[in-house]
Chain A
């Protein structure tokens, strides 16, 4: 076992443990903390795969956004986060469905030939972040999906502003 595999196994274990703790906590804020731990573990995996840009974006977008989720968790649940957190009575069915889904995914991914073969070495001398940037805006690359996603996000932003806007008097 190389050091890399050791780090991977440790991180993978950490992610699974944190994810399990997250869904079983009754306290919403604790669940959010475990979610942060799991997401941080995913960014470590990205680092192990030499995907530095994705690792940093993972931290920036997910862990940055979690603090807002936590604020909602605190504001919407007030004092009763600990005592009377609702328990979903149908969790058995959900567990069954999730297990079936996970089982199916494992079988499907196992049939994919790329899983069994080792990935090739990434040429770390190339500036991959710059190449990603060029690919996102070049007409041969992904400029149309990129622009469509931008417009969609802009529409969502404007929509949120319109919804939150106070009604003017006399209208």
Chain B
């Protein structure tokens, strides 16, 4: 295996070999693990600088603008300039704030996103740690994200920040339910919770076997990130800036960067769970190609997230909760049951993929018919309400 086909493996062997000469084995392992952690998290942190530029450019195109174009070629250095600006800004802490919690919140928010990257399989053999409960781990570290928003909202000692934190709990914990249910669908199909195994078994991409589940996963993930149209936790026109109202300078920058990185991480997770991860021609022989494939596939999910963000307006809070509890959660429950039954009945037969796809289509059609019926009923009820004399009296 030469350097150009698998640089990480070669570099890792060289580095551990170098350390093993100087130090006892336990220390060498510890140091190389720490270096690995630093490398993976720096990759995420450097990526986010580029992502912010990319998102601003793409959003600008959607809105018929040009976007950043002053600093550097195509405005590439704009984010660097913004970071310098954020670092030089005054760092103000509210007098009545809970200082430690206030300062800890942005760090926790960044850590919560970076922790996900520990179980991302970049290419064959390139994975931070191949936990056999990888999918569950992703769900678990998500709770740190909720925690960071709560910490920020409460420690700011500001009404609007606290309102933002309350909304965050209502939104993020609710949307965790369909997200977890649709995370379970690939787990059922792969018969494992390990992320590497998940990619290895996707000879047919899971998006073919479970398209509706993939779509619901993407929608509920957008809500988990808290982006438009689900950005109720920082709705400017209602609660100033939500949980990060009191944050200035780079502390705000950390929340901001964590959100962008989380949005891309959603794309990466979507690629791994539903689009076959690093799979592609020549990825097994040349692991470096696997990274390229994974990033290309992740861009699909990320592009959809950006597309939705720059196209749709913010939805109302009751609509947001209705969408979750009355639409996404029942459909994903039905999908989970359909997938479990069909996958067991048609296991190891040629009919597995067509049966699963047909099951998805049936669930989709049934839920569409049910939703249409519900919306018609709601419209009729509204009209009856308008015709009632006491309702008319209230209206001007």
Q: Report which A residues bind B (CB closer than 8 A).
A: 3, 29-30, 33, 36, 52-53, 56-57, 59-60, 63-64, 66-68, 70-71, 74-75, 127-130
Contact = CB atoms under 8 A, between A and B. Distances in A.
A59 B144 CA distance: 9
A63 B192 contact: no
Contacts of A30: 98
Given A3-B26, A59-B143, A60-B143, A67 B150 contact: yes
A128 B139 CA distance: 19
B140 interface: yes
B193 interface: yes
Interface residues of B, number: 27
Given A33-B101, A68-B173, A129 B147 contact: no
Contact of A64 (B131, B146, B151): B146
B141 interface: yes
A29 B133 contact: no
B167 to A, nearest CB: 11
Contact of B147 (A52, A56, A66): A66
Interface in B154-183: 154, 162, 165-166, 169, 173, 176
A63 B166 CA distance: 17
A129 B30 CA distance: 26
A60 B136 contact: yes
B204 interface: no
A71 B150 contact: yes
B303 interface: no
A71 B141 contact: no
Contact of A67 (B101, B131, B140, B143): B143
A-B pairs, 5 with minimum CB distance: A64-B143, A60-B140, A59-B140, A56-B140, A56-B136
Given A33-B151, A67-B147, A68-B173, 13 more contacts: A30-B98, A36-B147, A56-B140, A59-B140, A60-B136, A64-B143, A67-B150, A71-B150, A71-B165, A71-B166, A74-B154, A74-B162, A129-B132
B205 interface: no
A30 B213 CA distance: 39
B150 to A, nearest CB: 5
A3, A70, A71, A129 pick with most chain B CB within 10 angstroms: A71
Contacts of A75: 166
A33 B139 CA distance: 20
Contact of A53 (B136, B141, B147): B136
A158 B154 CA distance: 31
A127 B136 CA distance: 15
B256 interface: no
Nearest to A124: B132
Interface in B72-105: 98, 101
B169 A56 contact: no
Contacts of B286: none
B137 interface: yes
B150 A53 contact: no
Contact of A52 (B132, B151, B165, B166): B132
Contacts of B151: 33
15 contacts: A29-B154, A33-B101, A56-B133, A59-B140, A60-B143, A63-B140, A64-B140, A67-B143, A67-B147, A67-B150, A71-B165, A71-B169, A75-B166, A129-B132, A129-B193
B133 A53 contact: yes
A67 B154 contact: no
Contact of B139 (A60, A70, A129): A60
Given A71-B166, A71-B169, A63 B144 contact: yes
A22 B260 CA distance: 34
Nearest to A128: B132
A77 B166 CA distance: 15
Contacts of A53: 132-133, 136
A64 B172 CA distance: 11
A74 B176 CA distance: 22
B128 to A, nearest CB: 14
